[in-house]
Amino acid sequence: MQTNHIVHNGRETMQTKHPLISLLLVSTLITACHHKDNDDKQSSSGNETDNTASATFVDNAVSGLQYLCSSSNQKKVTDDQGMLECNKNDTVTFYVGSIELGMTVITDSTVFITPATLIGQNTDENTAGVLNMGRFLISLDSDQDVSNGISIATDSLIDTSVNVDFNQSVEDFANSIDTVLTELTQNLENGPFPLVKEDDAHDHLRVGLYLRNAGVYEGLVNYGDADRKVTLLVSRRGHVQGTNKTLAGKYAHSGLNEQQNLSSLGSTDFLRVDGSTGATKVLNAHFSDGVLTGSSAQENDQSNIILLEAKRIVAFDSVYDQAVVDRFNGYMPIDIDLGQIGQFRFFNNSEDLQGIPYIAMVNGAPSSSDPEKDISTPHWIYIFGEIVSAKNNQIRLVALSLNGYFVDMTFDLSGQEPSMIANWSHVYEGKKGISTSFQTNNWNTR
């Protein structure tokens, strides 16, 4: 059985007229990150085939959800991963039978659509309309097990002749929806289904909203008269860790403190750059549609402004198979052989660092070509990793060290013996390679 996990993007983008960055930068990191097979379409920013655009509807991934593209007169349903496809810039409207959920425009940059997308800007799991829609969709799940996604049965796609107002109060919605749910689920196995509890839906929605912004981001920090590179990993639980190059050329820590997460709207007032240098800068930052913007400016201080802009180059699958992850975790820790450079090591995280599933805090990554540029000592080079996908006995994981090593690896568990291929690069120095050699706690390919 698959266990589905999800994430999200926030509201409108912060605007700045500072001549910052061209986000068309394509580095060795992108080469390592982008796989072009069909299974990987949901791990990239939309589907760029001809004039079509694709996205995934998440509250966990919602399959069987009806939608209508403005360029078509025929309804379709989301697939088993929650994916939908329309022409670029279509207005897409979502339905459960005759009940309209809402509409949005699908563009090249649309990766995930959530109940918050349909309710409106600046809405989250605490907004009544978002919470009501989330409760409604979860309650329709045909097997009543959201851990493997939300699947809406064909028998639920009927004409109820009822208009559902999702924007009413939580209490009024709960009092008015029971009859509708009974009609939609009475013919399902073990039906009819009750309305899911408010707290359960709240927690479930929050995970889904985080997925909108999760992924790997690459961009620049602007110090006024010079730009320096930044690479960030945003986890499925809203945590941010990464690395940036300082004005002095050092490889510094960037991201959030250990116990901080993004809001589910994709915002934070505490994104750090130049960390561990003794001159850490703290930025207000916001994620939206795969773009991160940030500024150190305060309302009463426009001097010495530091700006940040980064673009997502890898997004994560909306669902993954927990059984595959559990098998993979049984091989921890894993040392990936980078040849003469050294080893890249990580562990599954036992809650030592909030929101990041894979870490290494000691002896994590090799030193850079010039160790003087590494802020951390060789014994304390942190690594942070997250799951891109886990399915069909394979897990894909990305990991980033604070001194600039990036690894995009696929671990194959389908055979009698595990195998691995890892694309690695140094985001500042241009070094890169491919490794198939690794060592685990119970396996050695060297």
User: How confident is the model over 51-91, as pLDDT tens digits?
Assistant: 999 999 998 899 999 999 999 999 999 999 999 999 999 99
The pLDDT score that the predictor gives to residue 16 is 35
Lowest-pLDDT range, 42-51, 144-153, 224-233, 329-338?
42-51
Q: How far apart are CA 250 and CA 405, in angstroms?
A: 14
**Fold entry, domain 213-314:** Lipocalin (2.40.128)
Cα–Cα nearest to 271, from 287, 255, 286, 259: 255
Residue 298 has pLDDT above 70, yes or no: no
**Half-sphere exposure for 305 (CA within 13 Å, toward CB):** 17
Lowest-pLDDT range, 120-134, 293-307, 356-370, 396-410?
293-307
Q: Report pLDDT digits (tens) over 388-441.
A: 999 999 999 999 999 999 999 999 999 999 999 999 999 999 999 999 999 987
Please give the average per-residue pLDDT across 297-319, as a whole number.
83
Cα–Cα nearest to 6, from 141, 166, 146, 197: 146
Task: Output the pTM of the full model.
Answer: 0.85
Query: Which comes out higher in pLDDT, residue 8 or 179?
Result: 179
CA dihedral 267, 46, 411, 406 (to 10 degrees): -50
Please give the average per-residue pLDDT across 170-178, as a whole number.
96
Strand ranges inside 62-202, DSSP E: 62-63, 66-69, 76-77, 83-87, 90-96, 99-106, 112-113, 150-151
The pLDDT score that the predictor gives to residue 443 is 57
Would you tell me how many other CB atoms lie within 10 Å of the CB of residue 397? 22
The pLDDT score that the predictor gives to residue 376 is 64
The pLDDT score that the predictor gives to residue 353 is 67
The pLDDT score that the predictor gives to residue 362 is 72
Residue 23 has pLDDT above 70, yes or no: no
Dihedral of CA 317/318/322/326: which sign?
A: positive
The pLDDT score that the predictor gives to residue 149 is 87
The pLDDT score that the predictor gives to residue 364 is 84
* Confidence grade of residue 43 (pLDDT, cut at 50, 70, 90): very low
Residue 319 has pLDDT above 80, yes or no: yes
Q: Report pLDDT digits (tens) over 182-240.
A: 999 999 999 899 999 999 999 889 989 999 999 999 999 999 889 999 999 999 999 99
Q: Any idea where the domains of the chain sit in the sequence? A: 53-110+112-210, 213-314, 322-439
Cα–Cα nearest to 131, from 202, 212, 210: 202
**DSSP classification of residue 224:** S
Residue 345: both structure tokens together: 């090591």
* Confidence grade of residue 361 (pLDDT, cut at 50, 70, 90): confident
Phi-psi region of 321 (alpha: psi -120 to 50; beta: other; left: phi over 0): beta
Q: How far apart are CA 374 and CA 355, in angstroms?
A: 25
The pLDDT score that the predictor gives to residue 410 is 98
* Confidence grade of residue 382 (pLDDT, cut at 50, 70, 90): confident
* Residues forming beta bridges with residue 394, ordered by sequence position: 391, 412
